[in-house]
Amino acid sequence: MAPSSSRPTPHLGATAVPLARVQKLEAQMAKLLQHIQPWMQKSIAESEARMERRMENMMDRKVQAVNKRLDAFELRFLERPALAKDLSFFRLN
């Protein structure tokens, strides 16, 4: 039988890292995050602004396309002879 120990044995392939080293790495990561965070926030804000502009441009193009179709319909309607213009289907009951 294997001798019992109060210390847990590390898993196969695991390496024990001293606590001081872990704390140092955590401090370095926190400092790195402090430097990266403003850049990340700026990048996100710029990306959101680009997306907003794209959406506005897309909506403008769609509105222009609808207006173009409405104008074409209006021209076709106005070009009809006066007798062929029946507006009764536009009335609301």
Give tens-digit pLDDT for 12-32.
777 888 999 999 999 999 999
* Distance, CA of 42 to CA of 84 (rounded, Å): 61
| All structural domains of the chain with their residue ranges | 19-78
Query: Which tokens belong to 64?
Result: 């222009």
Give tens-digit pLDDT for 30-76.
999 999 999 999 999 999 999 999 999 999 999 999 999 998 888 88
Structure confidence at residue 82 as a pLDDT band (50, 70, 90):
low
Q: Is the pLDDT of residue 2 over 60?
A: no
- 3-state DSSP assignment of residue 11: coil
The sign of the torsion formed by the CA atoms of 28, 30, 33, 38 equals negative
